[in-house]
Amino acid sequence: MPLVLGIETSCDETAAAVVEDAGGRWSIRSNVVASQADIHREWGGVVPELASRQHVRDICGVVERALADAGVAWDGLDALAVTQGPGLVGSLLVGVSFAKAAAWALDKPLVAVNHLAGHIESIWLEHGPIALPATVLVVSGGHTSLYLVRHEGRYELLGRTRDDAAGEAYDKVAKLLSLGYPGGPIIDTLAALGNDTAIRWPGTRLTNPDRNAPERDGRFDFSFSGLKTAVLRHVRQRQSELGVDQLPQHEIVDLAASFQRRVVETLIDRVFAAARWHGARSIGIAGGVSANSRLRTDALKKSKRSEIPVYIPRLSLSTDNAAMIAAAGIRRLADGHFAPADLNAAASLPL
């Protein structure tokens, strides 16, 4: 059975995994992630130069660990898959250079994978084949995009954020409240303690066409910068009313809950509306923000009511990992898409 080594270094996680393709059913033999969150935390966000240097330090150990966990030797691999983009170019280059050198030394095929395709395929990796057509929401720190999948491995863009990604909004709001990094999991935890109707945010209306993609009608686009600004205004106003730098804990948890409610409602409304519009038979939700507890429960509740099955990967496959890159690589291998010897990292690689 083909064994594929996946390598992922697009942002601040150095990851390697071995995935086996057992006749179209994929199984994870190992999945190793070295997170750099502790390094970037003190800066309040990912520092690109520090990220690429840390990838250089970690990549050999992470790959060796993935092979050892899988009980596979280098020559037992059938192919390698690596994230080509999108992401931080210095970070991507570490994975791409490592994978090219290893593939050349081993004389094994290499496939280049789009990071977003990896997130989408994490749904198939977790659940196996799902009913098509499917609408898939990829919601992470860098992206908030909605795709229609009519055929496995083919992704049609239905909508995307015009400004901030949902995860980015989480991270910025957490930074504004001095809560720490990454903000998503912290706000998620605090939101559980607060009143989600405590603050009413202004509505978001997207009536103008997308200047970058005028051919799409934009009805399934997202925007989170207005909400981020509303949070900023609210926080500044309360800080000056109370004469404090840090809001009291009960106000922070109410803000976290109200913010989270708005983000989650927006994401769920849009993905279900797109599913209805396109007659989708299933919905997938992937990417770091799909680890959000409210998004998971609310999407599954709505799934029961609307009778459209919703598929979300387990937490370790929601956030950045290399098993999803190996899975997307297996898909591309089957189509004969091999990477050229001069493969380069591509920071803004389109899907």
Binding site for ligand KG4 (CB under 6 A): 11, 140-142, 167, 170-171, 182-185, 188, 287-289, 291-292, 319-320
Q: Which residues contact 208 (CB under 8 A, 6 or more apart)?
A: none
Q: DSSP string spanning 233-302? A: HHHHHHHHHHT-SS--HHHHHHHHHHHHHHHHHHHHHHHHHHHHHTT-SEEEEESGGGG-HHHHHHHHHH
Q: Which is nearer to ligand KG4, 82 or 103 (CB)?
A: 82
Residue 121 binds to Zn ion (criterion: CB under 5 A) = no
Structure-block tokens of residue 76: 């037992």
Closest residue by Cα to residue 83 from 117, 120, 112, 123:
112
Q: Which is nearer to ligand KG4, 186 or 275 (CB)?
A: 186
Residue 292 binds to Zn ion (criterion: CB under 5 A) = no
Q: Which is nearer to ligand KG4, 21 or 188 (CB)?
A: 188
| β-bridge pairing 3-8 and 13-22 | antiparallel
Closest residue by Cα to residue 72 from 132, 112, 20:
20
Q: Which is nearer to ligand KG4, 149 or 169 (CB)?
A: 169
Question: What's the closest the beta carbon of residue 82 comes to Zn ion, in angstroms?
Answer: 14
Looking at this protein, which amino acid is placed at residue 160?
R
Q: Which residues contact 38 (CB under 8 A, 6 or more apart)?
A: none
Question: What's the closest the beta carbon of residue 322 comes to ligand KG4, in angstroms?
Answer: 12
Question: What's 149's DSSP letter?
Answer: E
Question: What's the closest the beta carbon of residue 88 comes to ligand KG4, in angstroms?
Answer: 10
Q: Which residues contact 214 (CB under 8 A, 6 or more apart)?
A: none
Whether residue 86 has a cis bond before it, omega within 30° of 0: yes
Question: What's the closest the beta carbon of residue 71 comes to ligand KG4, in angstroms?
Answer: 27
* Binding pattern for the stretch 299-328 against Zn ion, x by CB under 5 A and - elsewhere: ---------------------x--------
- Contact partner at residue 183 from ligand KG4, Zn ion, none, CB < 5 to 8 Å by partner kind: ligand KG4
Question: What's the closest the beta carbon of residue 264 comes to ligand KG4, in angstroms?
Answer: 9
* Binding pattern for the stretch 88-117 against Zn ion, x by CB under 5 A and - elsewhere: ------------------------------
Q: Which residue is nearest to ligand KG4 (CB)?
A: 288
Q: Which is nearer to ligand KG4, 30 or 144 (CB)?
A: 144
Residue 140 binds to Zn ion (criterion: CB under 5 A) = yes
Three-state secondary structure call for residue 130 = coil
- Contact partner at residue 30 from Zn ion, ligand KG4, none, CB < 5 to 8 Å by partner kind: none
Specify whether the backbone of 60 is left (phi greater than 0), alpha (psi in -120 to 50) or beta: alpha
Q: Which is nearer to ligand KG4, 20 or 54 (CB)?
A: 54
- Contact partner at residue 114 from Zn ion, ligand KG4, none, CB < 5 to 8 Å by partner kind: none
Closest residue by Cα to residue 291 from 322, 255, 258, 260:
260
Three-state secondary structure call for residue 14 = strand
Q: Which is nearer to Zn ion, 84 or 258 (CB)?
A: 84
| 94: exposed, middle or buried (Cβ count in 10 Å: 0-12, 13-18, 19+) | buried
Q: Which is nearer to Zn ion, 140 or 292 (CB)?
A: 140
- Contact partner at residue 109 from ligand KG4, Zn ion, none, CB < 5 to 8 Å by partner kind: none
- Contact partner at residue 170 from ligand KG4, Zn ion, none, CB < 5 to 8 Å by partner kind: ligand KG4
- Contact partner at residue 85 from Zn ion, ligand KG4, none, CB < 5 to 8 Å by partner kind: none
Q: Between the CA of residue 33 and those of 62, 184, 312, 337, what are the distances in Å?
A: 7, 18, 20, 26
Interface residue list for Zn ion (CB under 5 A): 140, 320
